[in-house]
Structure 1
Amino acid sequence: MRSSQVNRRQPGLLSIFILLSFALLGLCSHQNHHHQHIHRALANSRQHVSQPQVARADTSPPAGFAIAAVDDDPYTCGPGKPCSNGACCGASGNCGYGPVYCGSGCSSNCDATAECGQFAKVPGTTCPLNACCSEFGFCGTTTDFCKPGCQSNCILEPKPPGGSPTGASMDRVIGYYESWSYRSKCNQKSPTDLPLKELTHLNYAFAFVDPNTYELTTMDKETTEDLWQLTVDTKKHNINLKVFVAVGGWTFSDNGTVTQPLLGEIARSQANRQKFAAGVVRFLNKYGFDGLDIDWEYPGAPDRGGKPDDTANFVLLMKSLREAFDASPRMLGLTFTIPSSFWYLRWFDMPGLLKYADWTNLMSYDLHGSWDSSNPIGSIAQAHTNLTEIDLATQLLWRVGVKPEQVTLGYGFYGRSFELADPECTAPGCAFKGGAKEGPCSKTSGVLMYYEIQAILKQLPNLKPVFDKKAAVKYLTFDNNQWVSYDDAETFKIKKEWANNKGIGGSMIWAVDTDDDKFSAMSGLLGRSVSHVDTKTVVALKQTSENVASSLQGENGQGCKALTNLACRPVAELSCGTGETMIGWDRDGCKSDKQGKPICCPGDKAPKKCTWRGSGNDGGVWGDCNGQCHAGESRVLSSRWGGGPEKDRESDPYVCARGKKVFCCEAGDYKNVVSGCRWTPCLGPNSCDPNTEIEVASKKGSCPMSAVPKYCCPRNTALHDCKWRGTSPDCVDANCLMKDGDKEVNEVQVDKQSGGDSWNLCSWDREKALCCQVSKPLPKPLTCPMTTCEFEPSACLDDASRPLENPAPEESGGHDELRKLEERGGGRPFSWIPKSLVPIRMRSLRYVERPRLWEVAQQEPRPSGAPDRWFGRHSERCENTQLESRPIEEGEDHTMPEGIQVEHAVPLVTHPRFAAVAHWGRHWAPSGPQTQRYPQSTAMTRTPAMSEDFWRNVWNAADALPAGLPRVTPDSADLRRPADRIWEALGANQHIAPFTFLEAVFNGHKGRLEMFNRPQAPAVLRTHLNNAVNGNNMTAVNAMLAPLRETRGLFQYLRDDTVMTIMDNTASSIRTQLQIIERNRVDAAGLTAHWDEFYGHYYAQVSMFARDWAAEHINTIRTRYNANPLATDHDEVLKVLKDIEDDVKNWKYGFED
């Protein structure tokens, strides 16, 4: 690399000309707010055409200017060359509108009408966004459009509307959080890793919309719903933080996607708008989000699937959302994002939208990028956050009366990058060839994250970034021809000063998770040092509960105490004593809803997911509260005031004049308590099964024809003394009790309904509560501390063990010896049976030994492809090992964990198994090797079978391929043996990317399943089952359940993002090698087609085999335990089986979804 140097060819006037041309074109290029999903490259930008020129001589660009080819010149035309801007081609060869151009002598587009003015389709039409209409009928905002002759809205530089306070641009600081950052392979960020104290708002990006229901859903299958709650929970560390969910994004509106038309469909009818709004409110209240940000990219724009009616319909959608939000008990925020380009912004009715929105977020970044190559502006490098262009973009808002305080200005914590056409020309305006090299973590050409830019500057301290103070941006040239523009503390400062002077109302960051680990970008934006919030505790003031005012009890929360005699304190300063956990707070006379008194519980009994329920402003009698817990909750506290935690708050800040709010906590074992219970249907059999069930309650008023459903539970249910609480008509006492007089009852709420056990229904839309006592403590979770390796050591051989070529019979112990687990160093022998029945033998390449790979993984910097984590058990619970990945620290010398092995994510056995399928033209059946020596499925391949001669005499021949073919990896040898190319792709000494570290027991089960062998043989299971049932032997219980819980953990491993990526890359590499072999061997025809058929089919068979085995294994154990109800831990074992059984459906490879 070499550092930046002074350009030998300064563009000079070029920069000014570019800016002028930019303005003439009326564009701020294509936005990709939220470079979604690894920053997808943007589509071509749409520009607003310039107006024609009478004389062309003085408008030629300077030498070397690459704004557009002559053939794309929008000003001139002629025979066979119509005007590219759609105007009439006049007799003079110039483009324009009206009689001069469209009348006599016009050669093309002669019925064209102007965008605005006297020659528009409707004469007198004005421009979108109140832009100037030039004398020639074109819309724009620069001198050429607004000079004398301009027909309407002829203000050159509109001033912002008055009334907005200055110096307020940091009063609102919004950070967008990229949800995919949570599963990133590097620079992974959890919501709690963000600078939470510095933000006023955190926007989760993105939720998508279900096409069938219009309900909010995750953006892809890799994103789990748990991340919504994790994001909302950040409010524990900043009680003033508001968390919004952003819906949409660039990918959501991509052409050809099922999601692109959804916002338009929803906005198009009142029924859809109301349905969507109601669903949004349910979603926000379910997870505790404080508002919605709509990122529609873009309504109305034809190149993004927009329709002409989107503009008006978007306003109606915002109106419906605002009405639904205002009707919600909580105060919910509503915002929307806008682009800075004229082309896209023209479709937004800003005054209409801002009638209902709290503010709008301006995407004042991505003004330029590699997509400029297809624009008239051409392939010239320019900064993507130029302040001059941002100023022009905001003028579009001032033109339609938007106040600066209604605008949040966007800041990018990333840079746009180019590969320069000439390394000697490095200033803005120099030509580029394309996007720069992808970053090591962002993995996308044309973009570098802030942390990647800082890493470059740190690694190459001699680089000299160029500071363009006028544009308030920096740019950097590195690695000879790589160019990136970006912001830092100095440029942020200039932009902030500009924003403060204009009266901008806030700042928005895309994206807060792309900062470095020192929060350098955030510190630079704020102008002060930012440190990570302490997320280990949310309290700062130590208190004790010795002088409590009241003692509270609740299911799973006995001993909870409300410290109501303490002074009011800010919520962030509340805490409980040693050994206690704060589960919420009661405002209890405090003047502010940001103050309270803590509610503390013993740490081992503290309930979770607590919420205040009940409103002091319910729309009926003002101040009449009727707080009720939901099914599955226990009432811990009642209060006229209510309180927090805010994240689950259903209550409002109003104080009750009559009645009380209730503080409800989820009963941790509620699902187990009501397991097997059911309400009988309104129609059909309306009684409990006398052989297996008992009736514990009934309810009236919920069914037509006076039917009375019964609540039926298993005969051994823990529920008893079930009562409907609540006295008609007011039902203000409809809550379960902790005490009934002097008797502790600790009731748990099972259901609620207006009638309960009476035909006298509650008024005011209230409901009675079905409350039951629990007669016996629920069993503790069953633990299985031992693994299969300890019961059957041969299943997990140590690293010195050698594999056998052929598996042992499954019935002899259930563990084939083929695998003997992935840490062999030397090549491993394999064989398979062709049609001649004479085995074909092959040997894998040598691959890295475990201690050496561990050593490499700890190097700093870590070599490319080396594992950065290892996988092992987290839990001893019998139903779930909760397999987890643990990081391998760079630059440190940690002892390698015991019991881990080097694992091929795509196993070596794939190679001979594939060869056999390609030769036989038949797939493998899902049965073990002892019954299937060669493929015996009835499923035939579509691709013709390949000859035995090829596999025996060509595939393993040392020089079957010519020298000099592309190497498998840059470090690979020149492999001429076809088989060796596949072994290398699967993982070898020179190719370590396919390897992971996996605990031996999971690796063993993986190897058995991949050969269609059971993780535990039926004979072995019978032995353990007999000992468990007849001998009351917990070790035997552990032994028979271990393969189930471990196989569950195995599929958690196989569905891990890191592992799935490794498998995908390995399968792709194998396919590439097969293509190379096919191109260089005539007799190899069909190899790639066979692979395309084999890979997905084979491993789908493997997962199906695992699911079928699990069903068989579970059924065998359950049948025996049902016949022996006195067996030790009978109920616990059946519960474990049910938990695992419910999860078996998820035992699939990622590509099967």
Structure 2
Amino acid sequence: MSSPRLTGAVNAQDCSSLNPCAIGCCNKGGYCGIGDEYCGIDCVASCDYEPECSASKPCAKGCCNEYGYCGLGPDFCSKDTCVANCDRKSECDPDDYSDFAESSKCPLNVCCSKFGFCGTTKEFCGKKKVKRSSCSKNGSLNRVVGYYEGWSPDCLCHPFYPEQIPEGIYTYLNYAFASIDPESFEILPASDHEKKLIKRLTGLKDIDPDLKVFIAVGGWTFNDPGITQTLFSDLAAKSEKFLKSTGGRDGLSITLPASYWYLQHFDIAKLQKHIDFFNIMIYDIHREWDLGNKWLDPVLDSYINLTEIENALDLLWQNDIEPDKVVLGLAFYGHIFAVADTSCTEPGYLFVSGDNPGKCSHEVGILLNSEIMDIMDEQNLKSIFDKEAAVKILKFDDTQWLTYDNGDTFKLKADFARKAVDRQVKSLDNSGQAESMQVKKTHQQCKWTNCGIDCPAGWSRVRRTDDGARTDEHMWDLTACSLGQHTFCCPPDADLPKCGWYTHNNGKCNSECPSGYVEVGSDNRHCSNNNDDYQAACCTTDTPSMKIYSQCGWEGKPRNCNGKCPSGKNEVALSTTGSGDVYCEDTSFHYTMNGNVVDDWERRSYCCTEEDDLKWTDCGWRNDIGLADAENVVDDYCYPGYPSEKVRVAIDQHGDGEQLYKGNGDRARCCLPKYITKSKRSYTSAEKSLEDDVKIFSRNLEAFEFFIGNGSIADMSGSLMDEKRLKTRFSPKGVEAIKKVLYGIAFQFTANAIYEEICRKHVVSVFPHLKSSSIRTYLQSSTDWVCRGRSAIVDEIACGLTVYNSKLGNDQYLSCKCDTADCCPSDDPESCSSSEDEDWDLTGLSDVSERSLEKRSARSYPVNLQDNRPGVLVTTWAYMERGNIQPNDPILGEGYKYDDQDNCLNTLAGIIQIPLSRIDNYKIEHVVKLVTPALFLRDAALGQLPSRSRSMMDSPISATFVRQALGPCS
């Protein structure tokens, strides 16, 4: 901001009329400067020089110093030099501004420029770099968060229901949006309809038990002026009351803007302690609001690019936000602009506005992804991939230009997220219904500790039981330890194995384990048989904590280690020292002045039989964990330790190739143990009660049929059932039980097999086609039920077991076709359009309108107001005709259609968008008949109800009032 400071007069003859000053005026003495002494009557060059500021011309930003320059800090704002705006301060202190800065550092730890301004770009930070989190893009995402909007089912095009959300994709779902009662701070849905939607959304947890469902409170206009403007601040002031009103909380997340300008006012470092995660909105950076922004040109640009995403995340990293608490927010809509020049449609050229609202989104500058796909399909368009920004660009209708994300670019951003934020593997076990009836038990395996570390809490040291064991001696091993020793430990939930060192044999070691034992370690330090053999640490395998070990064994022998795994076994480890301290021959070496240096060694193979639930998994070498004597540690020293959740299966004392025999420590082969046993469990008391209720229901189906309205149902023998006896046998608990079972086999993940078994024993035995697989197949292939929700379709099946049994068995079942005299033939729908006045009591009225060929033209009816004066004439509007409807008429979005035309159990109708080409297949519903106003005035004047059975409670309507209301024409 500041310019070089003018320090006073310069040397004589430095300037002249032919050699003007670079800055300031030149006086006749040859000096450069400003003020009357230089720019007055003695000036010879640049006499019209105007300084940037003066006492009468203050700076727009900053202080004005005596030399006419604007800036901040002591050179501009101190009382010795400042002439205007001397109380202004810089945002931050770049070095020596002290009292001339508002703060010593910038908000959010961003950079302070040399001129005292806060920012994040290189103009502020120079070469300073933010330490960014870095992970493999091949990792799994810890969180995938989706927003479900409460208005989604009401869209005229592409309505979207909770049941259509893909299963197994999201770890969190946020319902958008709810409000807060300003008095009680209770969370409030927008309507009873949305309250049901929230219940349907949380019902997805039945399929994915690990799914978490939150409610997003607020929305885009929640803080705008109005009754909710201060709710969040009020809530914060009374947070204890709020939490009590909601029964506490299971989780809390906060959505952050990807902008320093907004974010600088929040202490995100302190917020981090109180939230589950931050959702940072890496979208909506560039939109039509760039128009009129003095800092930004209205140019065609992606809504955000990867560089801007990195910069937004840098704000978090430099405030020590944990990467695993960050979720990148993506949008399933595009940003659309109208270009300024149809010949200039590349990024960087100007736009003049956002596009008109879409027919579904109804918002300027926004098109939903579903709308974009419709446009591409209708116009046979292809998008352009902007690799640098990682977005898709679509151009259409000459002036329309938009950017959006699809599967390709979502993948790029997901890869970016994997690298930028921490991640953990999330496993959804959807392997089958039988899992639910089985008790799964994971068995931990015995293991060696790291050097100098005792057994984990609750675990037990294993005693040494061989003949050479000393009193109270445990299984210890010094292999690869410069400090302490390894201890063999076993978990608390299994019997301890018998273990020992086999066999020393007075130095003539023999590594053969006794029958029923397996090798878990090795030691040749006390052997004197020229490395021909070693002592093996061996343990029995008749306890679950040794089960995986029992599947494995070492191939090869000392001095002949290169044994291969036999058929049927897989190689888990390959080590030059076997399980720890086995001597293997060198295979190559080279000569040096200090003797031979070994280049490579033979390797023993650790081979295992593997089953899905019985094996070592996720195996790898580690050389970075453990303790060591500092005197023995050199550069790149290797530590033979392993993470606490893993088990060591081998130690290699010769490093990993480049560190062979250099004395640089050792490495450990460590694996995750996977041993899971399953057993079928018994019913709980609640499950047994559920089965009993279903059993009673299935044995009294006639009573249920009678209860739901089929009064003529016959019993199994064909005789008419007695009504009183049916009522006695009906069980409401049985109805709820059968619904619970049907819901479970159709939708639930947990406890699925319990419902399967109950259904098989007590439902399928009566209705053979209502197998769980058939029900699920039907629900997957037929999506008409989605708009009503899971509970509604379950109610429908439960109330129509006979119908659905026939339907799923492809048998002839009850038809919904109307075949009475009141029905309209499908081949002649106009035959239904009888007189508009049919079935109406028109006593006292006559149609005096001119006759028209149109059945639904305007009509006039005289009405006697019972005041001995001529009646009033009521003339109606004409009904809307299908042939007069235009393509953009809103009524086309108000079509009604049965959800399932062929399912007479489903009486629900939904609103659809009607193509104009199919308008003849629909009839226009007239909420108010043409004659209704006239009938009302007739009956009101008589003081009677339409039925004539009784009079109105008050006196007849005043004829004078009616005439005055209708005007002079009456």
Higher Rg: 2
Indicate the structure whose relative CO is greater, using CA pairs within 8 Å and at least 6 residues apart: 1
TM-score category, normalised to shorter length: 0.3 to 0.5
More helix by share: 1
Q: TM-score, normalised by structure 2?
A: 0.48
TM-score, length of structure 1 as denominator length: 0.41
